[in-house]
C-alpha cells in the first residue's frame, strides 16, 4: 500500500524561498533538470537533533517502507552540509523508510542554512503536519518560543494555525509528567488532557488520569468527575492533616494538664486544591470563676 505523501506546506515553502537557498552539492550524479535536487548516499546523512517527533506509528511507517521499496523516495529530503556528511532538516519518516528499505541513495535538496534556520525549518515542517501527538506539538511550539523568542501570534502565523490553538497546545505542558507521557503514548486523548487541566494540582491530575485509564472513561465522563471535584461544597475532597495524629494527642494532653479542663484540638487541613481548612481549639469552662481562672492562665485580664 503506497503511503500518502504530505507536502511541506505553504508556510515552509515560503520560509525556504525567503531565506535559505538550495546550493549545489559536491556529491556527483545530481538528477537532471531537478531544480537543485541531488542524489545523496544514505549513510552520509545524519538525523536532526531538533526533531520534535519522538513517536512514529509502526503501521504507517511500514506502509511507507513498502511504498519506498516499490517506488523509491518521491519527495526529496531537506539537508544541509556538515563536517561529517549531511544533517537532515526535514523528512525524518522518509529517511527512516529509506534505511529500512536498504536504499543506497536518496533524493535531497542541500540548503545553505545556519543552526537557527535549520532548527526553525525542522520545527515548522513538522508542526505543519497532522501526525505529531499533542505533547510533541506543544513542545515544538515551546521550542520556537524559546529558540527564537517567537510570540504565540508569530508561531500561529508561521505554522498556519490560530493563536488560540497555539495557546491551548502550550497549556498541555503544565500537566503532570505522567499525564503528559500517557497523552504522548495515545493512552489519553487531547480531549482528556484539556479536561484534566481544570485541576490545579498536578498530583490530582495524575490520580484522576489513572482512574480514567483504569475505567476507560470517555472525555464527557471525565469532565463530569472533574466538575464534581471542583465544586466547593464537595465533602470528600482529598485532604490531609497538617499535624500527625500522635502529635495532636500529645499537645491535647499537655493543654489539659496546664489548663485543668477538657480541651479539643483539631489540626489544620490542606485540601487537594491547596486550600487550607482552619484548625480549632475548644476549651471547656463551667462558671464565671472558671473562665476567669483560664483567662489568668492565658495571660488575659478579665475587664469585668
Interval 164-208: pLDDT, tens: 988 988 999 899 999 999 998 889 998 999 999 999 888 899 999
Nearest to 235 by CA among 267, 272, 268: 272
User: How wide is the angle at C-alpha 45 spanned by C-alphas 41 and 51, nearest 5°?
Assistant: 150
CA atoms 170, 171, 174, 180: torsion sign: negative
Which cell numbers in the block locate residue 27? 556529491
Give yes or no: 92 in active site.
Answer: yes
Domain boundaries, the chain: 10-132, 175-230, 239-297
* pLDDT above 90 coverage of the chain, percent: 14
Give the global pTM.
0.52
Whether 15 contacts 124, CB under 8 Å: yes
Answer whether residue 31 shows pLDDT above 80: no
Half-sphere exposure of 10 (CA within 13 A, CB side): 3
Which cell numbers in the block locate residue 24? 549545489
**Confidence class for position 3, pLDDT limits 50, 70, 90:** very low
24, 70, 92, 100: the catalytic one is: 92
Q: Which DSSP helix (H) or strand (E) runs through 105?
A: strand 105-112
**CATH top class, domain 10-132:** alpha beta
Once rounded to an integer, what is the mean pLDDT over residues 78-84?
87
Instruction: Give per-residue pLDDT as tens, 253-298.
Output: 788 788 888 778 888 888 877 788 888 888 888 788 888 888 888 8
What does the chain come to in residues? 304
Instruction: Give per-residue pLDDT as tens, 207-251.
Output: 999 999 999 999 999 999 999 888 765 454 566 788 888 888 888
The residues, ordered by sequence, that sit 6+ positions from 209 with a Cβ below 8 Å of its Cβ are 176, 178, 179, 182, 188, 192, 196
Separation between Cα atoms, residue 219 and residue 191, nearest integer Å: 6
Amino acid at each position: 500500500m503506497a503511503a500518502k505523501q504530505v507536502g511541506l506546506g505553504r508556510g515552509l515553502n515560503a520560509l525556504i524561498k525567503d531565506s535559505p537557498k538550495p546550493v549545489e552539492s559536491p556529491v556527483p550524479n545530481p538528477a537532471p533538470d531537478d531544480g537543485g535536487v541531488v542524489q545523496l548516499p544514505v549513510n552520509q546523512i545524519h538525523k536532526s537533533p531538533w526533531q520534535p517527533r519522538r513517536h512514529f506509528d509502526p503501521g504507517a511507517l511500514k506502509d511507507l517502507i513498502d511504498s519506498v521499496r516499490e517506488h523509491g523516495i518521491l519527495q526529496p529530503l531537506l539537508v544541509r552540509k556538515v563536517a561529517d556528511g549531511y544533517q537532515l532538516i526535514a523528512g525524518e519518516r522518509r529517511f527512516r523508510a529509506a534505511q529500512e528499505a536498504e536504499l543506497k541513495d536518496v533524493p535531497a535538496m542541500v540548503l545553505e542554512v545556519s543552526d537557527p534556520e535549520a532548527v526553525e525549518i525542522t520545527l515548522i515542517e513538522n508542526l505543519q503536519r497532522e501526525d505529531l501527538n499533542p505533547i510533541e506539538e506543544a513542545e515544538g511550539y515551546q521550542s520556537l518560543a524559546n529558540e527564537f523568542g517567537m510570540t504565540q501570534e508569530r508561531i500561529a502565523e508561521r505554522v498556519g494555525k490560530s493563536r488560540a490553538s497555539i495557546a491551548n497546545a502550550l497549556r498541555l505542558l503544565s500537566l503532570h509528567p505522567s499525564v503528559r507521557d500517557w497523552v504522548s503514548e495515545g493512552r489519553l486523548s487531547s480531549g482528556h488532557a484539556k479536561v484534566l487541566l481544570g485541576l490545579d494540582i498536578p498530583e490530582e491530575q495524575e490520580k484522576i488520569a489513572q482512574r480514567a485509564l483504569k475505567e476507560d472513561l470517555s472525555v464527557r465522563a471525565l469532565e463530569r468527575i472533574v466538575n464534581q471535584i471542583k465544586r466547593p461544597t464537595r465533602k470528600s475532597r482529598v485532604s490531609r492533616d497538617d499535624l500527625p495524629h500522635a502529635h495532636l494527642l500529645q499537645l491535647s494532653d499537655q493543654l489539659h494538664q496546664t489548663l485543668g479542663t477538657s480541651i479539643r484540638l483539631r489540626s489544620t487541613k490542606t485540601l487537594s486544591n491547596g486550600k487550607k481548612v482552619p484548625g480549632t481549639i475548644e476549651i471547656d469552662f463551667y462558671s464565671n470563676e472558671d473562665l476567669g481562672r483560664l483567662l489568668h492562665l492565658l495571660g488575659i485580664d478579665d475587664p469585668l
